[in-house]
């Protein structure tokens, strides 16, 4: 009888572990999707600002940061390059430093 109780306990534990993992993974995916949606909305504004004022450094900075967070390295590097063209003395933040050549 004791063996069955242990087996049932192990099965219940594995089920709870699987269900918990599913919900954590789902929560992570929803969080990532919100981050992408937020950046997409913000990036439209920053892209528009770049068109209106092509020398507005902060638009390029924000786009570089956003693209870098999403793992879009080439777009982040392109915007960072433009930032440094506009303001060569601008101190590059640590999170963007890996994008430098």
pLDDT score for 86: 95
pLDDT score for 78: 95
pLDDT score for 92: 94
CATH number for the domain harbouring residue 22: 1.25.40.10
pLDDT score for 22: 64
For every residue of 14-39, DSSP letters joined together read HHHHHHHHHHHHHHHHHHHHHHHHHH
Q: What is the mean pLDDT of each run of 10 residues along the chain (101 residues)?
A: 75 67 63 77 87 94 90 93 95 91 80
Residues spanned by the domain of 91: 2-99
Domain count, the chain: 1
């Amino acid at each position: 009888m004791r063996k069955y109780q242990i087996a049932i306990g192990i099965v219940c534990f594995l089920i709870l572990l699987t269900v918990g993992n599913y919900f954590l993974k789902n929560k992570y995916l929803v969080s990532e999707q919100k981050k992408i949606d937020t950046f997409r909305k913000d990036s439209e504004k920053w892209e528009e600002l770049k068109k209106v004022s092509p020398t507005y450094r902060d638009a390029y900075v924000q786009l570089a940061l956003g693209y870098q967070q999403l793992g879009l390295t080439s777009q982040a590097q392109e915007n960072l390059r433009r930032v440094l063209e506009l303001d060569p003395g601008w101190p590059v933040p640590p999170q963007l430093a890996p994008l430098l050549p």
